[in-house]
A and B are shown apart, each in its own frame.
Chain A
């Protein structure tokens, strides 16, 4: 690969990082806190590409004027393995794969962790909880503060082998490679047709019923659904509450 091609790949990679960083695309892959670093590295890559072109052009000029002393720019190559950098570029620009969904969720055990403590809940009215919040309160607080109150939870649908429905959110610490699901099993009036990976907002109440995740024996609480409505995928598809 010669330097023009290298400059092109550097430029495209930098541009792809900037694009992912400025849109919400990056949230499908990494934690929100990485945005400034992503943008900075994208900018550095673009500068490196421009610098490569600039010095290449200059050495051309001086190489013509003087001897063929700076011919090294043409002799020196990077190993072929650099071509592999085209792959993530294509994956990011052309395909932009979606955030991890039900497929990975059902292959991995629920990652529920015992919390330090619980935040105070609003005293009255329906509760808006996220999947991780509901699951921790249901399992480690035995539902003491949420029992009997109307609750709304948003997550995506996953079905196990028997077709039983779960509401899942992937919790993420750094990037999608370490994302782990937190699952809630659904009971009550469940919509007749559920499509995996579709985002739902379910309304209902706490129930003390529990089951175990067949993958890692982790606890999965149930939720009694009274109504369910499809919602758009949230801006950040992952739960990042463990980050801070």
Chain B
């Protein structure tokens, strides 16, 4: 974990734009997103053209339908596109659910509620928030925007992160799916619950001790305020769907590429050595980016692997995968994701191995 690095990378976008000549726009500069701090006139000009660009793009593609279809008819491309579309069609409803929930938290729940609901000592708030993850019925796509909203509402980041990590793995839907997928090994369900909760609490405490606020690009509040609550609510929904959705597309592309291109025979060689097997399945969980409601079935089908390796797959997958990494980078900033993801990955493997040694 690169904790000693002092240079904050993604946090400087909140500073008032360096040398911004005119202070005439009271709110505009602060609302700018990270990575878009070039000349504002220039991009504003570009900006007004975006409906035109969109229309042209759509028209062009409709006109070129035939040739495009031809190029996409190769079996690799077809299978790539099917998986790509499937990941998105599957994830979008859960993303929308998470976004609605997060908008509701951001607009309708007063910050005082969380101050009362969570213990004031962060060290205690972490496990409480981790357990609260069991109440979000959905997969990881829903948990990222909700965790973002929690941070915005003043929940201590350590607790919000524990929630972010635990929610996709320990909710009843996911645990039921795990029980169905492993009819002969009910201890897998217990193992998954224990290991996931353990790892998310440890990550929360770790963040509380070592984390620095400037690593976390706190999502700005301003566009959650509008002329009315309704405006603020839909504004938040629109922003989160566009934002997280874009990153979801990146993750879906990566997962589709892996599924369509990587040969399955690699796995067989990896399964021979028990340690390599655990690592291999952990890496596979990251690369495949399967929804946490379905990953148990995939794990069950990897018959060559040990139960501990499968547990590592089930613990790592909901906490960190390509699509989650992209979404975390989008919500909390790249500087955060680059530190948080490797730490989560290592801890999740450790947690799974320890739990596996005790339970399985």
Contact = CB atoms under 8 A, between A and B. Distances in A.
Same complex: yes
Interface of A: 1-10, 13, 17, 20, 26, 28-30, 34, 37-38, 40-41, 44-45, 47-49, 51-52, 55, 58-59, 62, 70-72, 74-88, 90-92, 94-95, 97-104, 107-109, 111, 113, 116, 173-178, 180, 215-218, 242
24 contacts: A1-B47, A2-B47, A6-B238, A13-B92, A13-B245, A41-B92, A49-B238, A55-B226, A55-B231, A72-B27, A74-B44, A77-B33, A77-B47, A94-B65, A95-B81, A97-B82, A99-B82, A100-B83, A101-B79, A111-B301, A113-B300, A174-B290, A175-B90, A216-B303
User: Among the interface residues B81, B96, B235, which one has the most CB atoms of the partner chain A within 10 A?
Assistant: B96
Contacts of A104: 79, 259-260
Contacts of B31: 72, 75-76
A141 to B, nearest CB: 17
Contacts of B264: 107-109, 215-216
A174 B294 contact: yes
A17 B83 contact: no
Contacts of A177: 83, 86-87, 90, 255-256, 259, 288-291, 294
Contacts of A99: 82
B297 A178 contact: yes
B18 interface: no
Contacts of B330: 79, 81
Contact of B242 (A10, A92, A97): A10
Contacts of A109: 264
Interface string B300-319: 11011000000000000000
A96 B239 CA distance: 27
B81 A1 contact: no
Given A9-B242, A88-B88, A92-B89, A55 B223 contact: no
A8 B54 CA distance: 9
A75 to B, nearest CB: 4
A215 B90 contact: no
B249 A95 contact: no
B51 interface: yes
A91 B264 CA distance: 26
Contact of A88 (B180, B249, B265): B249
Nearest to A47: B234
B75 interface: yes
Given A29-B85, A45-B241, A178-B294, 8 more contacts: A5-B51, A29-B90, A30-B90, A37-B93, A72-B31, A82-B243, A91-B84, A174-B291
Contacts of B94: 37
Given A48-B237, A76-B31, A98-B78, A81 B85 contact: no
B233 to A, nearest CB: 8
B245 A85 contact: yes
Interface of B: 25, 27-28, 31-33, 35-36, 40, 43-44, 47-48, 50-51, 53-54, 57, 61-62, 65, 68-69, 72, 75-76, 78-79, 81-90, 92-97, 100, 177, 180-181, 183, 222-223, 226-227, 230-231, 234-235, 237-239, 241-243, 245-247, 249-250, 252-253, 255-256, 259-260, 263-265, 267-268, 288-291, 293-295, 297-298, 300-301, 303-304, 330
A9 B241 CA distance: 10
Contacts of A40: 93, 96
Q: Which 5 residue pairs across A and B have the least CB separation, nearest first?
A: A174-B294, A176-B86, A81-B246, A175-B90, A51-B234
Contact of B51 (A4, A45, A81, A92): A4
What is the predominant secondary structure among interface residues of chain B facing chain A? helix
Given A59-B227, A94-B68, A180 B301 contact: yes
Contact of B86 (A29, A45, A90, A215): A29
Contacts of B263: 107
A178 B298 contact: yes
Nearest to A99: B82
B75 A103 contact: yes
Given A44-B100, A175-B294, A113 B51 contact: no
A170 to B, nearest CB: 10
A19 to B, nearest CB: 11
B92 A17 contact: yes
A180 B97 CA distance: 28
